[in-house]
Amino acid sequence: MPRIPLTDFAALPYPILDVRAPGEFAQGHQPGAISLPLFSDEERAYIGTAYKRVSQEQAVHLGLKYFGPKMANMAKQAKKIAPGREVRLHCWRGGMRSQAVQWLLELSGFTVHLLDGGYKAYRQAVLATLAQPRQWWVLGGPTGSGKTEVLHKLAAAGQPVLDLEGLACHKGSSFGGIGQPAAPTQEQFENNLAVALAQLPAHAPAWLEDESRQIGRLVLPGNLYDELRAAPCYVLDTSRAERITRLAAEYGPTQDPALLGAAIERLSKRLGGLATRDALAAVEAGNFELMVALVLDYYDKAYGYGMEQRWVAGNPVLPFSESFFDAAPTANGAGSTVNN
């Protein structure tokens, strides 16, 4: 079976088998790919050492030694993954690992589509996708104003939306990882982001939430952050009382007090000693509205500074309107119909 270019490979409807070592897969992989490692992380390290210190021939012999006992089980696993016996397959560069598994599976009656250039080519395509310029409408508002809920409503109304916090498994603040799934690696975040970007209209603006350069430990691509900061920002008008109630419900009795305390401690230098102590005491007493009110002072100052920078840069800051659920905003805040 010939090697398949990346665009054709992505369009095929068969399972993707990633035969790199588990550590490589965990660092980053194609969304939806299934790990079927030819070698363990330790075996891969031994083979690499043999290649560097002895010879390619010695590395190949060592690889064959590890591969032999695994062949029957790998073929069995592949049949469970793909009962139709047709798969997409790749390793790092489309070299000996993917060729060895391709040989095994074809011997077992599979049709195998090998990715030209392997995962390395895929990563190059991801970085190229992230570098493409795009237009955005930014949904702004202070912490607790309900931006994520509104973003989901926009998506449900048919508006194009990029949910950065959903992709990052983090809500952006010191508390943002509480109650969330484990965050992806930076590499995996970029892979997932590229897929999400590819699903948006190429020549029309899409909505995203106003974010800092970092979401938790993950960093936005530089050009995306620059575009976000320069785009029109439509701000939710939500009272402080509403925000406190929403955040207290979100980070209140259902959350681990130890995690809340750790989040407050991370902000201690910014909150100051007295506010930190009072916020920790509020958690212990179960007074989550007081905890939120104390912490919100810091976040509101940070939000105010960010908005000020937008004004200084001359970037539009406009009120968000309920009409945007039916029509997309224009630069002057009026609606215009979106055709997806």
From 325, 329, 331, select the one nearest 149 (Cα to Cα).
Answer: 325
For the purposes of burial, counting CB atoms within 10 Å of the CB of 69, is it exposed (0-12), middle (13-18) or buried (19 or more)? exposed
Burial of 224 (0-12, 13-18, 19+ CB in 10 A): buried
Please list the residues that pair with 234 across neighbouring strands.
139, 318
Query: Phi, psi (5° rounding) for residue 21?
Result: -65, 155
What own/partner pairs with CB < 8 Å and gap ≥ 24 does 18-24 have?
Answer: 18/90, 18/91, 18/119, 19/89, 19/90, 19/91, 19/97, 19/98, 19/101, 20/91, 20/92, 20/97, 20/119, 24/92, 24/119
- 3-state secondary structure at position 237: coil
User: Looking at this protein, which amino acid is placed at residue 261?
Assistant: G
In angstroms, rounded to a whole number, what is the distance separating the alpha carbons of residues 114 and 4? 6
Mark whether 91 is an active-site residue: yes
Question: For residue 320, which phi and psi values (nearest 5 degrees)?
Answer: -80, 140
The contacts found for 261-269 with CB under 8 angstroms, 24 or more apart, are 263/173, 263/174, 263/175, 263/178, 264/174, 264/291, 264/295, 266/174, 267/174, 267/295, 267/298
* CA torsion angle 140 145 150 152 (round to 10): 100
CA–CA separation, 173 and 212 (whole Å) = 10
* Cα separation values, 301 from 75, 223, 270, 271, 296, Å: 59, 26, 11, 11, 8
| 286 in Cβ contact with 261 (< 8 Å) | no
Catalytic position from the list 16, 33, 91, 291: 91
Catalytic residues: 91
